[in-house]
Amino acid sequence: MKTNWLKASVLGALLPLAAMADTDPKDWGAVLEEARGQTVYWNAWGGSPTTNAFIAWAGERVKADYGVTVEHVKLTDTADAVTRVLSEKEAGQDADGAIDLIWINGANFAAMKQSGLLFGPFAEDLPGWANVDVEGKTVQTDFTVPVEGYESPWAMAQVVFMYDTADIEAPLPSAQKILEWAKSHPGRFTYPQPPDFLGTTFLKQMLVDLLDDPSVLVDPVADDSYPAVTAPLWAYLDELTPVLWREGRAYPPTGTRQIQLINDGELDMAISFSPGAASTAIANYELPDTVRTFVLEKGTIGNASFVAIPYNSGSKEGAMVLANFLLSPEAQANAQDPNVLGYGTVLNVAGLSDEDRARFDALDLGIATLSPDELGQAQAEPHPSWMTRIAKDWQARFGVTE
């Protein structure tokens, strides 16, 4: 389903940001009291067994400690959740909505924030916020859009490329080198089909790498400059598509399927937004132990993953309790464990207590995970309007029809 960004933008001009709930996040004791017995319907991507297992674990912990029940509503496209909340708003359903928490990023967050569809601000009033690395990580903007407390970070991500060293001798340090390799090894690379987030991420990453000055992408799309800015991407894809897996006539639907194709010997390389994904897959016997990761010489896109609460949730307190648990050193260290998720932490680990810091120090990040120094400086995410426009144009140019 397509993101209803334009529709939400128009509606947003007429609506203020949603008002605060009766329970003030600053009164954490009252939040905990109201949360007990609530059920939180967490709408989150459901395409990864490891992610699903982590969400189930978090639900068990929150239930045991705070009496909050978590139900994972598995999404294939976050835009579906945005559409549901928008439809409820238009129907006047301003309380007890179907969604209590959303794993959200980018254009979907921008649309909901602009349209007054989010509860808050709440994130910086959570007790766990005190440990968040505000200075060192991009946790107060989302694809250049100021967060302003309307969503809470829970994981850090950066684009990496997984490659099988049994088939590729050395990392490929640029978009151009990837193209040259793909031409020499037709059928051995692909990316998920947009609008899957990894598929759209690949498009963004290639454009960032191809542009001499990618800072132009920080500003919203302008009609007069869009054709010239994106021309290098379309020219690149015109050359790349015929040498992709299945000659670009089919694409894997998800990143999980990419990993399966490497494991099955059909692909030699894949894109990921998790630096620990390869190590996690190796630990779970989903990839051969010859797989490693690399980043591009100019850097790769990085961002935080967030959770947000719809304005009409009937379990705002339970949702805040869950968001706060996700910021706990226990949850953050568990998510960073490559045997679990392999996600980067949003916390300032150096500022934690000795006991909590030890959780991270004890982690073996895995044989395929790059160190922070090896990951280098992350490239900024483009403004979400670029991705909305590029994904639509990709579909028109390269989309697969039945």
Residue pLDDT, tens place only, 251-263: 999 999 999 999 9
Is 174 part of any domain?
yes
Is 372 part of any domain?
no
Give the per-residue pLDDT at 394: 97
Question: Are 288 and 237 in the same domain?
Answer: yes
Q: Which residues form the domain of 215?
A: 158-302+379-398
The count of domains in the chain is 2
Is 374 part of any domain?
no
Phi and psi, residue 399, nearest 5° = -60, 145
Question: Are 221 and 312 in the same domain?
Answer: no
Is 373 part of any domain?
no
Question: Are 115 and 215 in the same domain?
Answer: no
Give the per-residue pLDDT at 21: 44
Is 370 part of any domain?
no
User: Quick check: 301 and 275 in contact, CB under 8 A?
Assistant: no
The C-alpha torsion from 110 through 116 and 117 to 119, rounded to 10°, is: 100
Give the per-residue pLDDT at 9: 42
Please, which residues bridge with residue 71 across strands? 41
Is 125 part of any domain?
yes
User: Quick check: 297 and 303 in contact, CB under 8 A?
Assistant: no
**69: its two tokens:** 């029940």
Question: Are 228 and 356 in the same domain?
Answer: no
Question: Are 16 and 37 in the same domain?
Answer: yes
Question: Are 144 and 164 in the same domain?
Answer: no
Question: Are 394 and 263 in the same domain?
Answer: yes
Cα–Cα distance for residue pair 143/197, rounded to 1 Å: 13
For residue 180, the domain's CATH number is 3.40.190.10
Question: Are 162 and 56 in the same domain?
Answer: no
Question: Are 202 and 127 in the same domain?
Answer: no
Cα–Cα distance for residue pair 133/147, rounded to 1 Å: 15
Is 314 part of any domain?
yes
Cα–Cα distance for residue pair 273/284, rounded to 1 Å: 18
Over its length of 402 residues, how does the chain's per-residue pLDDT go in tens digits?
A: 333 443 344 344 334 444 444 689 999 999 999 999 999 999 998 988 989 999 999 999 999 999 999 999 999 889 999 999 999 999 999 999 999 999 998 889 999 999 999 999 999 999 999 999 998 888 999 988 899 999 999 999 999 999 999 999 999 999 999 999 999 999 999 999 998 889 999 999 999 999 999 999 999 999 999 999 999 999 999 999 999 999 999 999 999 999 999 999 999 999 999 898 999 899 889 999 999 999 999 999 988 999 999 999 999 999 999 999 999 999 999 999 988 988 889 999 999 999 999 999 999 989 999 987 788 878 888 998 998 899 999 999 998 765
Question: Are 111 and 248 in the same domain?
Answer: no
Residue type at 54 in one-letter notation: F
Is 121 part of any domain?
yes
Give the per-residue pLDDT at 401: 60
In angstroms, what CA-CA distances link 18 with 21, 60, 95, 121, 246?
A: 9, 30, 12, 9, 47
Question: Are 314 and 357 in the same domain?
Answer: yes
User: Quick check: 153 and 306 in contact, CB under 8 A?
Assistant: yes
Give the per-residue pLDDT at 149: 97
Question: Are 297 and 214 in the same domain?
Answer: yes
